Chain A
Amino acid sequence: MENMINLTIDGVQVSVPAGSTVLEAARKANIHIPTLCYLKDVNQIGACRVCVVDVGARALQAACVYPVSEGMVVKTNTPAVRRARKTVVELLLSIHDRKCLSCSRNNNCELQDLCRDLGIDDDNHFAGEMNHYDVDDASPCVVRDNNKCVLCRRCVAACHQQQNVGVIGAVRRGFTTAIESPWKLPLANTGCVGCGQCIVACPVGALKEKDSIKAVDKLLEGPKHVVVQTAPAVRAALGEEFGIPMGTSVTGKMAAALRRLGFDKVFDTDFGADLTILEEGTELVQRLTKGGTLPMITSCSPGWVKYCETYNSDFIPNLSSCKSPHEMLGAVIKTYYAEKFDIDPKDIAVVSVMPCTAKKFEAKRPELSNYGMQDVDEVLTTRELAKMIRQAGIDFATLPEEDFDSVLGESTGAGVIFGATGGVMEAALRFAYEVVTGKTLEKVEFHEVRGLKGVKEAVIDLGETKLNVAVAHGTANAQKLLDSVRSGEKKYEFIEVMCCPGGCVTGGGQPIVKSEIRMGVNVSAERAKALYGEDEGKARRKSQDNEELKVLYKEYLGEVGGHKAHHLLHTTYVARDKYENVK
């Protein structure tokens, strides 16, 4: 029986478990306390003082960190509390670059919300000296604009605690405090893995993805044959940008919108995911039977790959040599598809819509090219696609459901679930089981690798073979897993790692969910539901059953894991210095 604490908030009796904060108790009583630096499970440090309340103490206290106690009387709405909150926000605004109209977060900004809710006026009582910072846009993934930073440190917490990367932090003190990389290095010259978790943690417009909309618009205007593909996780979240409830899959509308934007062909990265499973599953079976490096670790997540290359380069031989699904599909588009439809591959441009900012870096990797052409030319995030749809005046919610284009548009349930943590593992198991046992897999669900536990472990029965597997999401969790493997404490044959907590559904390129909503809803779980639902509804749920994929191998690639497949679909990795370019 949990120890419950009784308290009164604004005259309302509340009972909450011991150890709860005043903010959590107020939430339970449906009393709204405004916050700014608070982000559930990420940043709870009481730094910004926007959430101050009267707990009967000498001074007002930050509700996000103040623990409840028996008989406590809390007032969240006294004139003193309101004045204090307003002053805090006015002080923040006095050094804030107030260009709301042209800000990436216009209409989706927690600071704007506060100004509206607290009745901030035009007086600017604290007007005075301002800081001026150069915008850091050298990274192919993340753009930082400190002129809009409110020093809440949510990005710092995401980078350090969730991702164990820690390339940004608070520097100096007082008025000149800023969030920066050591020695003011551009992010591009640090060990940043490009995951974009800082972006989805930011309450304001201080962080955003590097823009690719202009480049894609140019492609669409130009003479090239522009092919687009969409990652599994995009369909699970795109609808949120248009008021469709979280957890709704919008696959059909998305395909329709892409056609209306002018893309010549709309393909599905899920096809690439099925292709990945065949190649990667075969690689796993080969490593198991022919004595390759084990555990084999998945390589679909470019943030994870860069993390491995930078912080754990001794594990590079463990990474699967498979390219990630959209890179595989890009390679196939510029060879098989080009040949089949008699288009010069030089006249084809491939655009990937991804839930990810690290994919922007990945697409530029020199290893991911064939015949002097990058496999993928441009990468848009889910947010950028939503912007393009709005700019085009497309009424997304009323669009009809359309299908992907044929030859590279079919996908199975296994491809769909790639977007959730554990999904690649499950998809690979659906394939490996049948290869190893020679039997048909009847029950395709592997529930032991689903869910949001930081590190999941399971022993999978593949007939006589017992496969020890593990799944980690968020690179901080991945680090713990790798450490346990390195020390010899744990032994696995197959590991899935996704860079972002929750997997791609909560990737750094996905729609941004405000702190207040994240307090009540588990975003990763909701979006994953959309994918698992789509998987269940599919007639074919194993990658090896994808008919168009069979045709691809038969007509073009030859054997799975064979010479041609290897040349087109596999890649190599490089060890990177943590302090690259740091002198």
Chain B
Amino acid sequence: MPDNKEKFEQLKQVIEELKDQPGALMPVMQRAQNIFGCVSMDVQKAIAEGLGVTLSEVYGVATFYSQFKLKPAGKYVISVCLGTACYVKGSQKVLDRLSEELRIPVGDTTEDGMFTLQATRCLGACGLAPVMTVNDEVYGRLVPDDIPGIIAKYRE
């Protein structure tokens, strides 16, 4: 937490600014996610204390909306397109293989903080279907067997 001291200071200010408005919890959580990149346990505790609500309320909201991240995103964010064209061309199998190789469910981040795996809607590159991106790099015409090689490249 010490390296985050400044961020928690920022969060404190946000809470101070919003705490008297009705329904402050959601906007505070959104701003917190902007500050920290996620709403981790420590962040949720600080929000609960600051707003005088229970941790279980904060956690309930955090898990209800998929846009809230409970863990910080990995160094590399892998997004697999599940748009119609990619899906028809087998992107689900690509996604499954990624999940298997990284040993995490979709939406989660690996223990070492290297990879976050997520599914996305159409990326607008249907000509390359099935498509995935790793941060800003695009990979097209994928088959599941391409996956170990791509992951290995980023692990190096």
Binding site for B on A (CB under 8 A): 160, 165-173, 181-183, 578-579, 582-583
Q: Is the beta-carbon distance between B55 and A173 smaller than 8 angstroms?
A: no
B54 touches A171 (CB 8 A): no
User: Number of A-B pairs whose CB atoms are under 8 Å?
Assistant: 41
A-B contact pairs, 15 of them (CB 8 A): A165-B54, A166-B54, A166-B57, A168-B56, A169-B54, A169-B56, A169-B59, A170-B60, A171-B56, A171-B60, A171-B63, A171-B64, A182-B41, A182-B59, A582-B41
Q: A579-B45, A582-B41 are in contact. Are A181 and B56 (CB under 8 A)?
A: yes
List, in ascending order, chain A residues with CB within 8 A of B44's CB: 182
Say yes or no: B59 contacts A183, CB within 8 Å.
Answer: yes
- Which chain B residues border A182 with CB–CB below 8 Å? 41, 44, 55-56, 58-59
Min CB distance A78 to B, Å, is 35
Closest chain B residue, CB of each to CB of A583: B41
Q: What residues of chain A lie closer than 8 Å to B54, measured between beta carbons? A: 160, 165-167, 169
| Chain B: interface residue total (CB-CB under 8 A) | 12
Is A582's CB under 8 angstroms from B60's CB?
Answer: no
Bound form: Cα–Cα A181–B55 in Å: 9
- Chain A proximity of B84: nearest CB distance (Å): 23
Q: Give B17-73 interface residues, CB cut-off 8 Å to A.
A: 41, 44-45, 54-60, 63-64
CB within 8 A of A167: which of B45, B56, B64?
Answer: B56
Given A171-B63, A172-B64, A173-B64 in contact, is the A166-B56 Cβ separation under 8 Å?
Answer: yes
Complex: A182 Cα to B62 Cα, angstroms: 10
Contacts of B45 in A (CB 8 A): 579, 582
Query: Would B56 and A172 count as touching, CB distance under 8 A?
Result: no
- Given A160-B54, A166-B57, A170-B60, list of 16 further CB < 8 A pairs? A166-B54, A167-B55, A169-B57, A169-B59, A169-B60, A171-B63, A171-B64, A173-B63, A173-B64, A181-B56, A182-B41, A182-B44, A182-B56, A182-B58, A579-B55, A582-B41
Q: In whole angstroms, how far apart are the Cα atoms of A578 and B53 in the complex?
A: 13
What residue of chain A has the Cβ atom nearest to residue B65's Cβ? A173
Q: Is the CB of A183 within 8 A of B41?
A: yes
Chain B, residue nearest A166 (CB): B54
Residue in chain B with minimal CB distance to A176 = B63
Task: Write the residues of chain B forming the contact surface with A, with a CB cutoff of 8 angstroms.
Answer: 41, 44-45, 54-60, 63-64
Is A172 a contact of B63 with CB atoms below 8 Å?
yes
Give Cα distance in the complex from A180 to B79, angstroms. Answer: 30
On chain A, the residues within 8 Å of B64 by CB distance are 171-173
Identity of the chain B residue whose Cβ is nearest the Cβ of A164 in the assembled complex: B54
A395 to B133, CA, bound (A): 72
A168 to B55, CA, bound (A): 9
Roughly how many angstroms separate A168 CA and B57 CA in the complex, as a whole number? 8
State A579–B44 Cα separation when bound (angstroms): 12
A579 contacts across to B, CB distance below 8 A: 45, 55
Chain B residue nearest in CB terms to A172: B63
- Closest residue of chain B to A165 (Cβ to Cβ) is B54
Chain A residue, CB-CB nearest to B44: A182
Complex CA distance for A350 and B64, rounded to whole angstroms: 47
In the complex, A284 Cα to B61 Cα: how many Å? 46
User: How far does the alpha carbon of A172 sit from the alpha carbon of B45 in the complex, in Å?
Assistant: 18
Give chain B nearest CB distance to A185 CB in angstroms. 10
Query: Which of chain B's residues have a CB closer than 8 A to the CB of A169?
Result: 54, 56-57, 59-60
Of all chain A residues, the one with the shortest Cβ separation from B55 is A182
Which 5 A-B residue pairs are closest in the complex by CB-CB distance? A166-B54, A169-B56, A182-B59, A169-B60, A171-B63
* Distance between Cα atoms of A168 and B58 in the complex (Å): 11
CB-nearest residue of chain A relative to B53? A166
List of B residues within 8 angstroms of A582 by Cβ = 41, 45, 55
Q: Which residues of chain A are near B59, meaning CB under 8 Å? A: 169, 171, 182-183
CA distance A169 to B44 in the complex (A): 15
Chain B residues whose C-beta falls within 8 Å of the C-beta of A168 in the assembled complex: 56
Query: Which residues on A sit within 8 Å (CB–CB) of B58?
Result: 182
Q: Tell me the nearest residue of chain B to A178, going by C-beta.
A: B63
Cβ–Cβ < 8 Å partners of A183 in chain B? 41, 59
For B56, what are the chain A residues with a Cβ–Cβ distance below 8 Å? 166-169, 171, 181-182
Q: How far is the CB of A535 from chain B (nearest CB, A)?
A: 39
Closest Cβ–Cβ distance, residue B14 to chain A (whole Å): 21
Q: Which residue of B lies closest to A578 (CB)?
A: B55
Chain B residue contacts of A172, Cβ below 8 A: 63-64
Kindly provide the distance from the CB of A401 to the nearest chain B CB, expressed in whole angstroms.
47
Q: How far does the alpha carbon of A581 sit from the alpha carbon of B45 in the complex, in Å?
A: 13
CA distance A109 to B63 in the complex (A): 30
Distance in Å from the Cβ of A186 to the closest Cβ of chain B?
14
CB distance from B102 to the nearest CB of A (A): 21
* A582 to B55 Cα, complex, angstroms: 11
A172 vs B58: C-alpha distance in the bound complex, in angstroms?
12
Give the nearest-CB partner of B58 in chain A.
Answer: A182
Complex Cα spacing A277 to B58, Å:
42
Contacts of B63 in A (CB 8 A): 171-173
Shortest CB distance A320–B (Å): 28
Write the chain A residue with the least CB distance to B64: A173
Q: Which residue of A lies closest to B42 (CB)?
A: A583
Q: Whole-angstrom distance from the CB of B111 to the nearest CB of chain A?
A: 15
Chain B residues within an 8 Å CB radius of A583: 41
**Whose C-beta in chain B lies nearest to the C-beta of A182?**
B59
Q: CB-CB < 8 A to B60: which residues of A?
A: 169-171
CA distance A165 to B63 in the complex (A): 20
* Smallest beta-carbon distance B146→chain A, Å: 31
Give chain B nearest CB distance to A328 CB in angstroms: 34
Once the chains are docked, how many angstroms separate the CA of A464 from the CA of B57? 50
Tell me, in angstroms, the Cα distance from A583 to B42 when the chains sit together: 8
Measured in the bound complex, the distance between the Cα atoms of B62 and A580 in whole Å is 21
- Give chain A residues whose Cβ lies under 8 Å from the Cβ of B55: 166-167, 182, 578-579, 582
Residue numbers in B under 8 Å from A181 (CB-CB): 56
Bound Cα distance A169, B63 (Å): 11
Alpha-carbon distance A165/B53, docked complex (angstroms):
10
